Amino acid sequence: MFGYRVPAPNEALLISGRKQRGADALPFKIVTGHGAFVAPIFSKATRLTLAMQEAEVEEDCYTKQGLTVRVQAVIAFKVGDDHESIAAAARRFQGDQSQMPILVGRIFSGHLRSIIGSMTVEAIIREQQTLADAIVDASKIEMARIGLDVDSLQISRIDDKGVGYIKALAAPHQARVNQEAKVAQAAADQASSMAQQESMRYQAEYARETAIAQAKYQAEIDHAQQTAAQAGPLAAAQAQQSVLVERSLVAQKNAELRQAELVAEVVKPAQAEAERITTLARAQADATKLSAEAAAAQDRIALDQLVIQQLPELLRAAAQGLQGANLTVLDGAEGLNSVVASLSAQGMALLDAVRKGMTAPTTPDAPTAVIAHREAA
């Protein structure tokens, strides 16, 4: 739109040409974050950057020890966001905003020389952040007066201009660092060698496992191929074996049937005949035994009769033997009875002895022996 101006987010629009009201009114109007109408001919609009800017400082400074050191620093700054800071910066730099970094560098150069002059080289090297904070704090009042804010200050370089003081300070630490670096390098080399050997071992082990797996797979493939190749002959052999088994079963059944027939036709009749013959033999033996026992009993009866017949003769002979004997009989009739009883007992004993002597074994020839004895008698 004609006459309407809108500043960028990092800019401030300064409108001049119209009288501002109030005792402390500024000679221009500050517009940020929104647009404003600028009347042609009667008003003029300019822009002031609010973006971050950078200033570099490089100064030769004397330390507390009298040594000269060259210090390089970088300052990051910008115009403040409040209207007072924008107004202060606009009055000083609106005509030439490129003068901002130059003026900032000069301000910080003075504070840098002043603060380094109160420090030793060792403190400057060890406490660079403390040095930077001290310089920023010392310059805040002056920077605020010209409407600028410092975001940061970084010490980029410290040099003793070839004297070698800083290098000498670093020598012991450098030697220790070098030694530690060598030790670390040796440990790293050892670890690297161990890792390399471990990697080689893993590779060899993996190669071995791969070869074993390949051999196993190849063996399985060969086995499968052989199994497939033998499937036909094996099936034929199994079928033939099944036929042979069936034939063997049929032959076994036939043999069992023939055996049963032989048992029925030959064995059973033979067993029956053997049992008949055995029964007849036992019956004949029993008959023979009974006949022998009967003959033996008859011979004993005949023998007893013979002994009984001869007993009177034996007693008579015993009595004749006593006829000429001079015997004295005591106790009268009782004593005589005792003598007779004694003779009878002797006769019975003699009868038993004769019976035992004349008795022969119970054999089939015993009756013949008895008959012969009778004839001799």
The half-sphere exposure of 67 on its side-chain side, counting CA atoms within 13 A, is 19
Query: With pLDDT > 90 as the criterion, what percentage of the chain qualifies?
Result: 16
Given a cut of 50, whether residue 377 has pLDDT beyond it is no
Please state which of the ranges 76-90, 158-172, 215-229 shows the lowest mean pLDDT. 158-172
**Alpha carbon distance 309, 315 (integer Å):** 11
What is the average per-residue pLDDT within 321-333? 55
- Over residues 157-181, the pLDDT tens digits come to 988 888 888 888 878 878 888 888 8
Mean pLDDT calculated for residue range 229-258: 86
Contact indicator for 376, 332 with CB cutoff of 8 Å: no
Among the residue ranges 40-49, 155-164, 299-308, the one predicted with the least confidence is 299-308
Residue 195 has pLDDT above 60, yes or no: yes
Q: What is the distance between the alpha carbons of residues 130 and 124, in angstroms, rounded to a whole number?
A: 9
Q: What is the number of other CB atoms lying within 10 angstroms of the CB of residue 14?
A: 21
Residue 19 has pLDDT above 70, yes or no: no
Instruction: Please state the rounded mean pLDDT for residues 370-377.
Output: 40
Compute the distance between CA of residue 177 and CA of residue 191 in angstroms, rounded to an integer. Answer: 20
User: What distance in Å separates the CA atoms of residue 109 and residue 60, rounded to the nearest whole number?
Assistant: 10
Q: What is the pLDDT of residues 129-156, one digit of tens each?
A: 999 999 999 998 989 999 999 989 999 8
Task: Return all residues near 157 (Cβ < 8 A) that are at least 6 apart.
Answer: 70, 71, 72
38: left (phi over 0), alpha (psi -120 to 50) or beta: beta
pLDDT above 90 (res 87): no
* Higher pLDDT, residue 12 or 373: 12
Binning pLDDT at 50, 70 and 90, where does residue 346 land?
Answer: low
3-state DSSP of 162-208: CCCHHHHHHHHHHHHHHHHHHHHHHHHHHHHHHHHHHHHHHHHHHHH
Q: What is the mean pLDDT of residues 302-320?
A: 69
3-state secondary structure 229-254: HHHHHHHHHHHHHHHHHHHHHHHHHH
Does 364 have pLDDT greater than 50?
no
CA atoms in the 13 A half-sphere facing the CB of 147 = 20
